[in-house]
Amino acid sequence: MPKADASIEVHSLKVTADGVAERERVIPQEVPVALVYDGTTYAVMMASPSDLEDFAIGFSLAEGIVAAADEIEGLDVQEQENGIELRMWLAPHRRRDLAERRRRMAGPTGCGLCGVESLEAALPACPRVTAELTITADDVATALAALEPAQALNRKTRAVHGAGFWTRAEGLVALAEDVGRHNALDKLIGARLLAGELPLSDSVLFLSGRASFELLQKAAAAGIPVVAAVGAPSSLAIDLAQRTGIMLVGFLRGRSFNVYAHRERLQ
Instruction: Show which residues are catalytic.
Output: 111
**Peptide bond connecting 199 to the previous residue in cis, omega within 30 degrees of 0:** yes
**CB-CB contact of 234 with 125 (8 Å):** no
Distance CA 155, CA 8 (A): 13
Q: Tally Cβ neighbours within 10 Å of residue 138.
A: 11
**CB-CB contact of 33 with 168 (8 Å):** no
Distance CA 172, CA 142 (A): 10
The packing angle between helices 213-221 and 52-62, to 10°, is: 90
62 three-state secondary structure: helix
Distance CA 234, CA 237 (A): 5
Question: 229-232 — which CB contacts under 8 Å span 24+ positions?
Answer: 230/144, 230/206, 231/207
Distance CA 48, CA 183 (A): 8
Q: How far is the first Cα of the chain from the last one, in angstroms, to the nearest whole number?
A: 42
Distance CA 171, CA 130 (A): 22
